[in-house]
Every structure is written in C-alpha cells, then in structure tokens.
Structure 1
Amino acid sequence: MIVLTLLFTGLVRASDDFNVQFITNFVINERKPTFLVYAGLCWKKHDEIKLTKALNKLGVRTSSSLEVKSKFHENAVMFLTDLACDKSEEVIATATSRRLFQFSYRWLVLSNSTDALKMSLLEASPVLATSDLVLAERRDEMYTMTELHKPANNSTMVSTLRGYYNGTFSDVRPRRELYWRRRDLMWHPITMANVIQDSNSTKYYLPRDDRLELQNDAVAKVCWVFAKIAFDMLNATPQYIFSYRWGYKVNGKWSGMIHDIGENRADLGTNCVLFKDRLDMITYTDLVAPMRMRFVFRQPPLAYVTNIFALPFSSGVWLAIAVCSMVSAAALYLASIWEVKIEKSPTQLDGSIGDALLLTVSAVAQQGCFIEPRRSPGRIMEWVFFTALMALYAAYSANIVVLLQAPSNSIKNLAQLADSKDNRDQLHISVHNTISPENGKPHFYGIFDGVERIRKGLFAFHSIVEPVYRRIEQTFLESEKCDLTEVDFINSLDAFTPVKKDSPYLELLRVVYKQIRESGLQAALNKRYQVPKPKCLNKIAAFSSVGLLDIQPVLILMLYGVALSVAIAVCEIIVFKM
C-alpha cells in the first residue's frame, strides 16, 4: 500500500492537469509505500477530486483530515504543500513544532518564482541532514526538482538537483539511498561524550590515540577511535567531551553522559548498557566494544567440592572390588580349614572367618599381615589377590595425584558461586551485602590487588573483565590460566552506542557504523585495544601443595576408624570383665 500525506493550504489556486500528472508521476517514481492526507486544499473541488482519483488508481489512500493518524509506519508518510497558498506559512510552522521535517517523513513542496518570502521561511526551518524534502519549482510547463537540506541548524541550505518533469519524469539522483546523498556533513562538528572511570589520564591519552595506558578505560578508547572513523566517513569534524559516569536518573533528572546528550552538549556517547528509562532520552545503534561486567575467579580445587577419593573408580569398579574381596576371603577361609587339619603354626590362619577377613583387608589396604597360609593353594590365592590389588592401587594413586591438582568446574552461574566456598551468601542481595556490608568496611580492591587475590585462589573479583584479563596476561603462569571462570552478576545485555533520540545524524551514524563493522575495522580495533579471556594453550603439570582440605575425607575416615576401634576396645573390656 503506497501512502502519501498531502497538506494543501492557502487561497484558491487553480490546479490544472499538469500538476496532477506531476504529483502522480512523483509518487510512482518514489517506489515506496505512500499515504495521502490533504487539508485546506486551495484547488478547485473538481481538481482535488481528480488528484484523489488518480492516486486511488495507484493504491494510494487519501484523507481530508490533517489529524488522521496513519496505522502505517512513518516512512510511508509524505507531506505536500504549496508555497503559493497563504496558509503554507502555518504549515511550515506546524511541521517545525511537530518535528515533521525529520527522518523518516518525506516532503514535496510546490513553488513558483513569486514565493521568495515563503522560501526564506522554509530555509529557516530545521531541514537537516537526514530530511527528505524536494522543492518543485514550476516554470511554464516544466518542474525543476531540487533537494534541500542543512548539515546543521546554523548552516546554510544546500541545494542538490533531483530531476525534471516536462511530461516525462527525469530523476538524476546518482543513488536512491538517502545516506549516499547526505554523507558529506561539510566539516560540521559532531561531539561525542566519553565516559572515563579508571583514570583521569584518559583525558590526555584518548584524543592522542597513542595506545598508552591501555589498562585504563579501554572501552572508551575503542568507542572514540571507532567514532572518529565514522566522522571521517561523514566528512564531519570530531569533537569530544568527558562525562564522569554513564548516567542515571536521580530525583527525576539525568546525570552523566545521558544528561550531556539530552542537553545537546553531545550527539552520541560511549557504549552503555540498555536501560528502559534511558529510551526516553536516547536510542541505541551498534555494539562497538564489548563491555562485560563479571565475577572473575579461578575454579576451586576439585578436592574442595567433592570427595576425590571416590572418583578414581566408577561405581561398577568399586562393586567389583568388593565382590572379589568377599570371594577371596571365602576362598582363604576354606583353604585355612584344610590346612589346620594337616598342621598348626602360630603364624598360620587358624581356620576362622576372622583371620580370613583380616588378611583380605590387609591386602586391600596394601598392608602386611603376620598370619598367612602355609600351603601352596592358599599362598597362590594370596599372591594373586595381592598382585591384582597392587595394580588397582597404582592406578588409584595416580588418579588421586591428578585429581588433587584438577579444578572443579563446578561453578558456572551466580547461584553456584553464592553457595561455593568463594562466597556463601545467596544471590544478588547477599552478594552485594557481602561486598558492601551495612556495618563494616566495604570490600573493594584495585585491579592489581584483585587479580593477585584471584591468582591465589578462592577469591571472586567483580569488574569489567578487559582490564582484569590484561593484568592476568601479565602476571599469571600458563598453568594458572586454565581454570579461569567468569560469572555474570547483573545479567545485563550488551552495551550499545547511545545517540540522541531526535538527532539529525542518527540514521547516518547507524549506516556508517554498520559499514565499519562489516569492513572488519571493528574487529581489528577490539583486537588492538582489548584483551580477550586468556586461553589455556599449554596445560602442563605443576607442583601443587596438599592441604588439610584436600585430604578431608581421609581424615574423617580415620576419625571414624579411631572411634570404632575405641568402641570395640570398650566392648572387649566389658566382655572380659563379665
């Protein structure tokens, strides 16, 4: 459905078939959906009806009320006014107050050589870089079409030939895309607000692009270099200001960068996170530099989160060992009964199930036993059992050594981090209270101190990850990089470039930013300025000390054994006394 909005105002002016044919051919040449609304038309009634019928044949909807709202998108709306009409001044004033000259509305303005006063009013209007306004000047039986726009409010009007109509429509635009015709801003300044939080030295190094002190405000530096490339492509003069924060609403008023953009001190800013409240003031374009805020930490050792002494073998292997031990104990018991009948010795199995179990447990624990079989059948069974268990013990010990040095990989989200030994509080509120308690000293650390605590382990550091990873690359051993993990705390979306909502450069910046990204320059800039998560290129075994926490299950088992032995001793004393 083609949609065209027509505003005809002023005194009565006879419109002949040539005007109707021109407007109809103009709509056809647009090749866009158009919606027509006309009010205060200064044509004769039959000429108005003739235009409506001609447009209706094209599928163009019309209306005589200026207040009718189109259900279609704004880029389908095109306004038409005639400077020869007396009320055209009111039309221009209304368009200025309602911002109808901005993208994506289209305008067709009819004129003749006697409209000099109203032309001056039009030239004073905010017809800016992305405005699509065509001035059609009629001389006899020919219309000359000219595009009008200003690079800025304080600039002079720029005229560009659009084409002619003398019964045949001629469009001389080199390209139909508006961006390609308006990408020259003629060195008009565009200002960017840069948010710095790490160091005031950024105010010195950012404009120089010298890549010094990259550990400070890397995101702001990438965004600034990216914007400068965009400004060069638009032939604009780059300017900058510095904001102390991104911007939040406090007592109904915005602060920081959002305030600077809203007050027209800046046209765009450094990448910021998407917040719903900010959409009243700004809109977002492309993601330039990733700005990820995460908890960064080393995974705790596997021994801290699980019983590593049960991990070397699967449940099936443990069950097989238990079954084989019971079978071995039964075989030794039967062999000992046969041996006792032949001969007796102090170091010989006495034919009881207790001695058979004692020898079996000694074999499982790889310990010696003072009693043993005396005959060949029993000794062969004992030798096979000890040999099999020795192989299992060697495999078991090797696995334990590996597991003592292995990270757990058990913390993958905020809930697991809150429940881990790194932090025992629950989720966001508890984590925040742990970092900044109400009645205590806040736990805030500099990058150097925080990264060193990460290296020592059992410490989660919340920060923008880029400076953390840069410091890690400088201080960590290769083996220490292999268990690095990050967990999202604020669950935010990616940060995008903010632009003032009604900025005349919004569409130009959207297109040029995408061109820079598609050309690969964005990826090159991010590689040049930012450090990704360190990769584990060569995971080698390193010496790792073993603490009490690593052997906690063994210590607990020993305590249970001591308690059980004491209980058995007490029982034996009681039985003896009785």
Structure 2
Amino acid sequence: MKIFSIFINILCLKYCVSITNQNNEQMVVDVVKSYEKPTSVVARVCWESTTVKRKLAKMLANLERPISVRYLRKNETIQQSYPNNHLLFLLDINCENVEFFLKQADANKLFSKSYRWLILGNSINDNGSIATEFENLSISVDSEVIITQEKERNYILLHTIYKLRPHNKWNMEYYGTWAPDYGLNKSDDRIHSNVHRRKDFKGEPVFTSIVAEDNRTKTDLFGLRNIFIDSLSKSSFPSVVSLYDFLNASKVIIFAETWGYPINGSWSGMVGDIKHGKVDLCGTVTLMTLERLRIVEYLTMPTNAISVKFVFRQPPLSYQNNLFILPFTSNVWMCLGVFVFILVAILYINTKWDRKKYEIYNDQKMDQTCLPPNWSDITLFVLSAISQQGSSNELKGTLGRFVMFIVFLAFVFLYTSYSANIVVLLQSTSNQIRTLADLLNSKLELGMEDVAYNRYYFSLQDAYTFKDPIKKAIVEREIASKGKPNFMKIEDGVKAMQQRPFAFNMNTGIGYRIVSALFQEHEKCGLQEISFIPSTKPWLCSQKYSPFSEVFKVGYLRIQEHGLSDRENRLIYAKKPVCSVMGGSFGSVNMVDFYPVCLLLLYGMILAFVLLGVEILVQRWQKRGSNQSAIQLNIIV
C-alpha cells in the first residue's frame, strides 16, 4: 500500500508540474503577444524537461510575428551585453541563485529603459509585499518588470513594479490577469506609456542645478528688471517650475557659478553637479559638445531664438575691395587697355601725316602747339583725354581734329560711367564675410560678450579651438593680440557694433533685443552671423542614463506644446530684426575708401622724383659727352 501511495503522489506531482509548466508556457506566449511588437526572449527557467522548452520555442515561433528564444544554462552568468531593443528577459523566481542573477542584471543596467522582464512564480507575498529578492534592485520609472501572483485555480495576477528612488516604497501597477480559460485580460491603462502612468512623483524632490553668475539672480530668478544678467537661467527657470508642476515633485535648487568645463580631468559647474550625481536636472540651457555627450543627456531645445554667434553689420565695400577697380569687369578693363594702345598707334600715324603735310605745303616752321610725332607726347595726350584734362598740343588737320573729337567723346562716356559707379560703390556694403576665415582676414575688430562660455571657448583650453587652425589664429591674432582679451558687456558690444566695423560674439536672443532698441531702421539691414562655437543652439539636459530622462523630456515637450516656454522666451529674447528700410542715410567717406588713390598718388610722386633724377643724370651725361667732343675738335684744329 505504501509503495502504491508513493507512486500515486509522484504521478500527481508530475501532473501538477506539467499543468503548471503548460500554464506558464501559454501565459508567456500571451504576454509576448500583448506587446504587439517584435520581441526576442532570453529565458532562465528551471524546467528540467527539454520537451517543455522546445514546446515554448515552437509556440513563439508560430506567432504572427515570429519570436526567437534563447535559454540560459543553469550557472550561466548575465555579464555579457545585450541589445536593448525588442528584448524580453524571462525568469523563474523559484530557480537557484536567482538573487545573484538579479544583482548581475542590475549591475549591467538591464532593468533600464527598453528592456522588459517577465518574472514567473509567486513574487508577491500573502501580506501584499514584494519578494525580498527585488529589494536592492534599481527598478525605476523607466523599467518594465512584470511579476506574477498565483491564485487558486491557476488564476494569475500580473503587476508591474518600480521605485522613484532606491529608498522609497514599491509602486505596483495592475497589468492584467491570466487564466487558462480566457487567457490574458490586459488592463485598459496599459494602452498608455510608462511616462503617462508614472509622471506623478508624489512630492518626491527633484534636484536641479542652475547657473547664476550674479548673486542677485539667486533671489530674483523670476525678475525681468534686468534681463541682461543671467538671461539664460531666467528664461529656463519658468520651464523648470512648470516641469515640477507636471511631475508633482518638490523643488530643490542648487546654484552653480558656470555651465561646467573639463579642468584637470574633472568637471566644474552645472555639468560637474550632474556628473557627480548631486542633481537630476540642468536648470539652465547649455551648449551641446562632444565632451558633454558622455556625461549628460540632452532633452529638448526650448527655443530657436537663442544662439551664440559673431554678429556684425556688413562693412563698407572698401573694407574688402579696392573700389577703383570694381566699376568695370576684367574684360572691360582689358578692352580699354587694347583701345588705348590702338589710339596711341592711330595718333602716332596721324601726327606723322600732319608733320609731313605741314612741311610740304608750308614753308614756315611747324606750329609749337601741334602734337609732335613721338610716343611720349602722344601717350600723355591720351592720358589727359582719359582723365578729362586738356592738352597744350593738338592735331591741326581735319582728320586729326576728327580723331581728337572721337577720343574725347569716347572717354567722356567712360568717365561718366566710371564716376557714377564709384558713387554707388562708396555707399555699398560687402557681403563677402561668410566664414571664420573671411572674418579673420577682414579689417573688422572682434569682441566677445563677457560670459563664462565665451571665456572658455575663446581660449586655447578648448581642444576644439586648439585643433582648428582658423579658430586658433582668431584667438591668437584677434582676441588676445593686445595681451588682454576684448571681453565686454553685451550693451557695450552692441553699441560698438553700431558705431564702427565691429564683430561681436553674443547671445543673439538678448543682443537682438538691444539692437531693436538702439539701431535705426536702416542700420538693422545687413546684419550677418558667423558661428565660432560648434553647436550654437542650447539644450536642456539631465543625467546620462537617468531613469527620469524620458519623463523630463515628455514634460518639457508638453510645456512647449502648451506655449508656456514660448511665452517666457518672448518676454526675454528677440528675433533678428527685419530690414524694412534700405539706404536710409549716407555715410561720410572714410580714409579707407580713398586709400588706394592716396597710394597711387604717393607712388606717382615717388616715380616722378625717380624720373627727375634719371633726366638729370642723362642731361649731365649728354653735356659731358658734348664737352669732350668740343675739346677733341679744338685739339684737331
């Protein structure tokens, strides 16, 4: 009897285990189907029968979206990396060393965003508490961990669990129920994302770091009496406050002196607070750099009105070009040169003919006002015609006078066209400064807004600046050429940009507000921008791999969709002014405008003295030669 009883119990146990395994198989398949997206399964289960494992693999492979499954061996670790897309970890909590397995998964951040878990077995105690195996795991708001609670008649409850902070209590969400009769009955709330369901932080503090270069900002973050001081923080902080309201979180603010830069292997400022885990969120927008990408996660760009660029008015055309060669194109200049040579040749032939005709038909000497047939006099005559000057010599014959009329008439038209173009060009501006190389080679003075990020980027401490030869040359030759970098307040920089050819690196959102207030309408035309910093658009950011990053991102996007960020930005920032009036006034001619003419006059005067010296030497040489000839003649006589 005892042997028979033991045999019956063994059969019952095997039957119950078989029923349980069958239920687990079908429940796993139903849960995977409920995701409605591709899924690959990595399983660590304690099923001794390979038939059951094969059956589960076959059931998953026969779904509408075929799914692969990989079984981990009994003592196999989980240290290797896994792709974090479309992956579901299947774990039986009744297996041996399950606590060690969970700690390994936690160390490899496998409970973070995009990974999904399904824990088989009874993970909820009778008193409603979560099993102790999960106690020290980092299952946060971005996790997707489903645990099961077995009820009578193979009825199973499914819940998802998470914690806001490691020291908080567990939050448990109802996922659905499963029974052999009707399968998985999924909760209606699961149609929403984790962010939508878990955005209530229930008063949990969220730590935020805000840059405050001026101490007055710490007590007046909402004040707009002086928007030029810590404007980036004052525009960002209202969005941060709205995010706290969206999350129902407590506000904890930490102030930093700078945005944060790598100094001797460590980070300072706001980024340093993020890296060291002091805060969860950046409360001031910051520029995106390659070094920061390893530390922070950029969430959203709150406005397009902010950028950091060199802004300058288009300089006069004479700052980039010689105005006196611009009226005509190169082809026209070449044609004019050929035309002058042809005129000289024609005039030479004409003067020869006049001289010969005069000697044949007149017995007297030739008139002194006649143009002599030599190249120098003819060239001077043509040059006088080009410059609209008279000449003491002229051609006497009818043909010669007709040629003179044509010459002077042609150069009158050329002179009129040339001088009219010069007048226009004197009032024109240059649009040739479009790159940093153009800015470096221009005659513009450079200046920078006195803020922390400009002091960092306009120094050779920044690796990007140091490696770029153009930026390095700008720093060495333009920024620090006088020993002291040209940093100034944004108001002074905008005024300098209005009064003289000056390029000012500034926050364009604030700078354009000052431009709109100070510049006249015609002065707002021709404003150009050139970027020195790699990424000029600032972003709000959080900790790298923070479990709250997705919640923060969605919150910021909701705030922007409702127009709250746009309202705050409109109070502080301004867009680039629209050019509505062109040529409102005429500026005086500067020394730069007629510098080429002065240079030509100087070279001409030098050449004149050189030719005078040559003539004196030639005259003395000829006089000496004539004296020697006279002496030799006297000796012979």
Q: CA RMSD in A?
A: 3.7
Matched, 1:134 2:146: yes
Aligned mates of 2:487, 2:71 — CA distance in 1: 64
* Cα distance per residue 1:328-374 (max 9 Å; x no partner): 44444555534735665443435555544333221110112233344
Give the counterpart of 1:432 among 467, 475, 480: 475
| Alignment-derived partner of residue 18 in structure 1 | 23
Aligned mates of 1:542, 1:75 — CA distance in 2: 63
The residue type paired with residue 22 of structure 1 is M
Give ranges in structure 1 of 5+ residues lacking alignment.
1-11
| Alignment-derived partner of residue 28 in structure 1 | 33
What displacement does 1:500 show?
A: 1.0
Matched, 1:61 2:61: no
Change (3 A) 1:435 1:443: farther
Aligned mates of 1:412, 1:35 — CA distance in 2: 52
Change (3 A) 1:332 1:179: same
Give the counterpart of 2:295 among 281, 288, 294: 281
Matched, 1:340 2:347: no
| Alignment-derived partner of residue 536 in structure 1 | 579
The residue type paired with residue 413 of structure 2 is A
What displacement does 1:136 show?
A: 2.4
What displacement does 1:267 show?
A: 1.4
Q: For residues 464-475 of structure 1, what are the structure 2 equivalents within 5 Å?
A: 464-475=507-518
Aligned mates of 2:269, 2:95 — CA distance in 1: 47
Change (3 A) 1:250 1:315: closer
Q: For residues 223-238 of structure 1, what are the structure 2 equivalents within 5 Å?
A: 223-238=236-251
The residue type paired with residue 192 of structure 1 is T
Give the counterpart of 2:114 among 87, 104, 111: 104
Secondary structure at 1:317 match in 2:
helix
* Cα distance per residue 1:101-132 (max 9 Å; x no partner): 33222222342775548625347754332221
Q: For residues 379-394 of structure 1, what are the structure 2 equivalents within 5 Å?
A: 379-394=401-416
Q: For residues 41-80 of structure 1, what are the structure 2 equivalents within 5 Å?
A: 41=46, 47=52, 50-55=55-60, 57=62, 58-65=66-73, 66-68=76-78, 73-80=83-90
What displacement does 1:551 show?
A: 1.8
Asked if the contact 2:91/2:118 (under 8 Å) is kept, the reply is yes
Asked if the contact 2:317/2:323 (under 8 Å) is kept, the reply is yes
Asked if the contact 1:272/1:497 (under 8 Å) is kept, the reply is yes
What displacement does 1:147 show?
A: 2.9
Asked if the contact 1:137/1:145 (under 8 Å) is kept, the reply is yes
| Alignment-derived partner of residue 9 in structure 2 | none
Aligned mates of 1:224, 1:481 — CA distance in 2: 31
Asked if the contact 2:124/2:130 (under 8 Å) is kept, the reply is no
Asked if the contact 1:151/1:186 (under 8 Å) is kept, the reply is no
Aligned mates of 2:415, 2:617 — CA distance in 1: 38
Aligned mates of 1:572, 1:281 — CA distance in 2: 79
Secondary structure at 2:185 match in 1:
strand
* Cα distance per residue 1:280-319 (max 9 Å; x no partner): 4322222334653333334443323332111101122223
Give the counterpart of 2:421 among 371, 376, 399: 399
Aligned mates of 2:426, 2:95 — CA distance in 1: 89
Asked if the contact 1:134/1:146 (under 8 Å) is kept, the reply is yes
What displacement does 1:459 show?
A: 3.7
Secondary structure at 1:74 match in 2:
coil
Aligned mates of 1:241, 1:442 — CA distance in 2: 31
| Alignment-derived partner of residue 266 in structure 1 | 279
Q: For residues 161-200 of structure 1, what are the structure 2 equivalents within 5 Å?
A: 161-167=174-180, 168=182, 169-174=184-189, 175-197=191-213, 199-200=214-215
What displacement does 1:257 show?
A: 1.0
Aligned mates of 1:434, 1:187 — CA distance in 2: 54
Aligned mates of 2:384, 2:390 — CA distance in 1: 6
Matched, 1:413 2:413: no
Asked if the contact 1:340/1:351 (under 8 Å) is kept, the reply is no
Aligned mates of 2:616, 2:125 — CA distance in 1: 127
Give the counterpart of 1:546 among 579, 589, 595: 589
The residue type paired with residue 75 of structure 1 is N
Secondary structure at 2:309 match in 1:
strand
Identity of aligned residues (%): 30
Secondary structure at 2:310 match in 1:
strand
| Alignment-derived partner of residue 631 in structure 2 | none
Change (3 A) 1:20 1:537: same
Aligned mates of 1:576, 1:95 — CA distance in 2: 104
Change (3 A) 1:45 1:563: closer
| Alignment-derived partner of residue 241 in structure 1 | 254
The residue type paired with residue 328 of structure 2 is F
Aligned mates of 2:421, 2:345 — CA distance in 1: 30
| TM-score, normalising length: structure 2 | 0.77
The worse-fitting range, judged by mean Cα deviation, of 154-163 and 416-425 is 416-425
| Alignment-derived partner of residue 455 in structure 2 | none
Asked if the contact 1:137/1:144 (under 8 Å) is kept, the reply is yes
Matched, 1:296 2:307: no
Asked if the contact 1:222/1:288 (under 8 Å) is kept, the reply is no
The worse-fitting range, judged by mean Cα deviation, of 339-348 and 294-303 is 339-348
| Alignment-derived partner of residue 7 in structure 1 | none
| TM-score, normalising length: structure 1 | 0.84
Aligned mates of 2:518, 2:475 — CA distance in 1: 28
Secondary structure at 1:509 match in 2:
helix
* Cα distance per residue 1:445-464 (max 9 Å; x no partner): 22233333333334443343
What displacement does 1:576 show?
A: 4.2
* Cα distance per residue 1:197-235 (max 9 Å; x no partner): 3x33333443x2x54422233333333333344444444
The residue type paired with residue 42 of structure 2 is V
* Cα distance per residue 1:513-542 (max 9 Å; x no partner): 445556776666555532334443322153
Give the counterpart of 2:270 among 257, 269, 276: 257
Q: How many residues get paired?
A: 564
Aligned mates of 1:75, 1:571 — CA distance in 2: 89
The residue type paired with residue 158 of structure 1 is N
Aligned mates of 1:497, 1:255 — CA distance in 2: 17
Aligned mates of 1:89, 1:325 — CA distance in 2: 99
Give the counterpart of 1:489 among 532, 542, 552: 532
Asked if the contact 2:78/2:105 (under 8 Å) is kept, the reply is no
What displacement does 1:22 show?
A: 1.2
Aligned mates of 1:572, 1:49 — CA distance in 2: 113
* Cα distance per residue 1:239-274 (max 9 Å; x no partner): 433221122333443321123223443211133233
